[in-house]
Amino acid sequence: MQTRPRPYHHGDLRAALLARAEDTLREKGPAALSLRELARDLGVSHAAPSRHFKDKQALLDALALTGFERLSTTLAASQETAGDSFADRLGALARSYVGFATANAELLDLMFSIKHDPAASEALVQASQGMSVLATDLIAEGRRTGEVRDAPLDAIAIPMFSTLHGFASLAVSSTLPPGALDANLDDVIAHTLRGCAPDHPTPH
């Protein structure tokens, strides 16, 4: 029925485990993720994963890390194609973040349900902080052009990132009124722009 079973997994078992884990996460949720089933799906013994991940949590951490890396790439790409104004760039960032969140709901949940303690892997901590770097750059530039009020970077970056992340997180958990996600996102962007605006906006 089957070609003679190969004794060993052919290629990169580590990468195969991560890819398969993400599929399972997406399709059946985090509770259904089992190392033994992953191994079965890939045709290796149930003990094989331990060569690449010391335990289940290590696999989950690695999965979250790939999530942060892809999110960072996605957000950075949104800035390449965005216009020059602060409003355009913020809108692109927000839509990009929410797009990733809705397309990878379970993964986003996993990414932020992991404690980002100093105890966590350094790579993970760094990856999750790397995201806010983008927001900070955006704000710094907006301040130079006078589109953003003069205040310490964190005093704007943290509220802004909180809003973005909060909206994405509520959307993912279906806690928002259904159906009007795009309109709600427009409101969120407009509200954030108001929060960032200088006291006496330059008359055009």
Partner DNA sequence: ACCTGAACACCGTTCAAGT
Binding site for its own copies (CB under 8 A): 31, 57, 109, 112-117, 128-129, 154-156, 158-167, 169-170, 173-177, 184, 187-188, 190-192, 194-195, 197
What DSSP letter does each residue of 175-201 carry, written as one string? -SPTT-HHHHHHHHHHHHHHHHS-SSP
Q: Is 146 left (phi over 0), alpha (psi -120 to 50) or beta?
A: left
Contact status: 50 vs DNA (CB under 7 A): yes
CA 138 to chain centre: 18
Return the structure tokens found at 193: 């722009």
Q: Residue 78 or 128: which CB sits closer to its own copies?
A: 128
Q: Are 110 and 160 in contact (CB under 8 A)?
A: no
Contact status: 62 vs DNA (CB under 7 A): no
Contact status: 35 vs DNA (CB under 7 A): yes
Q: Residue 44 or 108: which CB sits closer to its own copies?
A: 108
Partner whose binding site includes residue 177, from its own copies, DNA, none (CB under 5 to 8 Å by kind): its own copies
The identity of residue 189, as a single letter, is I
189: closest CA among 76, 124, 96? Answer: 96
Contact status: 103 vs DNA (CB under 7 A): no
Classify residue 183 as exposed, middle or buried by CB count within 10 Å of its CB (0-12, 13-18, 19+).
exposed
Q: How far is the CB of 34 from DNA (least distance, A)?
A: 4
Contact status: 13 vs DNA (CB under 7 A): yes
- CB count in 10 Å sphere of residue 143: 18
Partner whose binding site includes residue 34, from DNA, its own copies, none (CB under 5 to 8 Å by kind): DNA
Partner whose binding site includes residue 109, from DNA, its own copies, none (CB under 5 to 8 Å by kind): its own copies
* Residues lying near DNA in the complex (CB under 7 A): 7-9, 13, 33-37, 39, 43-48, 50-52, 54-57
